[in-house]
C-alpha cells in the first residue's frame, strides 16, 4: 500500500512537471510572435510599416549589399552618432553580406542575441554555444534600427561615442574591447572591409555634404559649421532655427561648452 501511494505521488509530480514545461513552451511561442516598436528618432531612417510578413532581401554580392544598405547606415549615423562605415562593415561581416543562414531566417544582420529584456521574435542558432537565442525581425531595416539602439543605449559602449565619428579604426577596436565579439581579429576584419570597399566615404559624405530628410513634406539639409569667436550653442540655435537640445543631440555634446575651430553638425530647413 505504501509503495502504491509512493508511485502515485511520483506520477503526480511528473505530470505537474510536464504541465509546467508545456506552459513555459506556450509562453515562449507567444513571446516569439511579439513585436518590438522601434523608437521614432529625428533624422533616423524612415522604417517601413510592419505588415507582420517576413521580408527577405535576396542579395548576391557585397557590392549589392552596400548599395542596398548604405542609405540607412548614413541616416542612422546622423541620428545615433555611429559611423556609417562601422555599421556597414558590421552588417557585411556579421550577416555574410546578407547571405548567412542566420540572417536569411531571422533578418538579423548584426548577430545580436536575445538578452534578457528582448520582447520581440527570436530563433535559435549555433554560435559560440549550441542553440543560442538570436533576435528576429520581419524586415532587414528593423535590424539596422535595433543595432543603433543597441549600441547607443548600453553603458558598456558609451565610451565609443567619445571617439571622432570619422575614426573608424578606434570604433572597430572599441567594439572588440566592449565585448561585442569574441573574435580577437574582429577589429582587423572590420577595418579590412572598410578599406577594401571604401566605406569611410559614406562617413565623409554624411558629415560634409547636404543630407536631405525625406520622411515628410519638409526638407532639411545637414552641413558642418566651424565654430568662430563669439559662437555659442544658443546663438547657433537662433542662426539655424534649431533648439540647443537638438544641437547637443546631433553632435553628442555632454555640455554647453564649444571651442573655436570645432566642427558642429547643424540642420536647417530648405526653402524648397
pLDDT digits (tens, 9 = 90+) for 114-157: 988 788 899 998 876 788 999 999 999 999 999 999 999 899 99
Which distant-in-sequence residues (6+ apart) come within 8 Å of 199 by Cβ?
66, 84, 85, 88, 89, 168, 193
**Cβ–Cβ under 8 Å, residues 65 and 98:** yes
C-alpha of 197 from chain center? 21
What is the torsion angle, in degrees rounded to the nearest 10, for the CA atoms of residue 49, residue 52, residue 56 and residue 57? -10
CB 148 within 8 A of CB 109: no
Task: Check if the beta carbon of residue 135 is closer than 8 Å to that of residue 112.
Answer: yes
pLDDT given at position 139 = 94
How confident is residue 97, by pLDDT bands cut at 50, 70 and 90?
very high
Burial class (CB in 10 A: 0-12, 13-18, 19+), 194: buried
- Of the spans 35-44, 147-156, 168-177, 209-218, which averages the highest pLDDT? 168-177
Q: Do 151 and 83 contact (CB within 8 A), yes or no?
A: no
The single residue listed with the C-alpha cell 563669439 is: 230
31-43 mean pLDDT: 59
Please state whether beta strands 122-125 and 132-135 pair in parallel, antiparallel, or not at all (unpaired).
antiparallel
Q: Are 230 and 265 in contact (CB under 8 A)?
A: no
The alpha carbon of 35 is separated from its chain's Cα centroid by a whole number of angstroms, namely 17
Q: What is the pTM of this model?
A: 0.66
- Distance of alpha carbon 52 from alpha carbon 61, whole angstroms: 27
Residue 269 confidence class, pLDDT cut points 50, 70, 90: low
pLDDT tier, 270 (very low <50, low <70, confident <90, very high otherwise):
low
Amino acid at each position: 500500500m505504501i509503495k502504491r501511494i509512493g508511485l502515485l505521488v511520483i506520477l503526480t509530480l511528473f505530470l505537474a512537471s510536464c504541465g509546467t514545461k508545456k506552459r513555459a513552451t506556450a509562453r515562449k511561442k507567444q513571446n516569439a510572435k511579439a513585436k518590438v516598436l522601434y523608437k521614432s528618432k529625428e533624422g533616423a531612417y524612415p522604417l517601413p510599416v510592419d505588415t507582420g510578413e517576413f521580408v527577405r532581401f535576396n542579395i548576391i554580392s557585397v557590392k549589392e549589399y552596400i548599395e542596398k544598405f548604405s542609405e540607412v547606415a548614413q541616416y542612422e549615423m546622423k541620428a545615433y552618432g555611429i559611423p556609417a562605415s562601422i555599421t556597414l562593415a558590421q552588417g557585411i561581416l556579421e550577416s555574410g553580406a546578407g547571405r548567412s543562414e542566420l540572417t536569411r531566417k531571422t533578418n538579423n544582420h548584426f548577430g545580436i542575441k536575445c538578452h534578457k529584456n528582448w520582447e520581440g521574435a527570436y530563433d535559435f542558432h549555433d554560435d559560440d554555444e549550441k542553440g543560442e537565442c538570436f533576435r528576429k525581425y520581419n524586415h532587414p531595416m528593423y535590424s539596422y534600427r535595433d543595432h543603433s539602439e543597441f549600441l547607443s543605449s548600453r553603458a558598456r559602449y558609451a565610451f565609443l561615442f567619445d571617439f571622432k565619428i570619422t575614426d573608424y579604426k578606434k570604433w572597430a577596436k572599441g567594439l572588440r574591447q566592449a565585448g561585442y565579439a569574441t573574435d580577437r581579429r574582429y577589429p582587423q576584419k572590420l577595418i579590412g572591409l572598410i578599406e577594401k570597399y571604401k566605406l569611410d566615404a559614406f562617413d565623409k559624405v554624411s558629415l560634409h555634404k547636404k543630407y536631405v530628410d525625406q520622411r515628410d513634406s519638409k526638407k532639411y539639409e545637414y552641413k558642418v559649421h566651424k565654430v568662430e569667436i563669439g559662437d555659442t550653442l544658443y546663438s547657433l540655435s537662433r542662426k539655424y532655427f534649431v533648439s540647443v537640445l537638438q544641437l547637443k543631440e546631433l553632435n553628442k555634446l555632454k555640455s554647453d561648452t564649444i571651442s573655436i575651430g570645432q566642427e558642429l553638425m547643424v540642420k536647417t530647413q530648405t526653402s524648397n
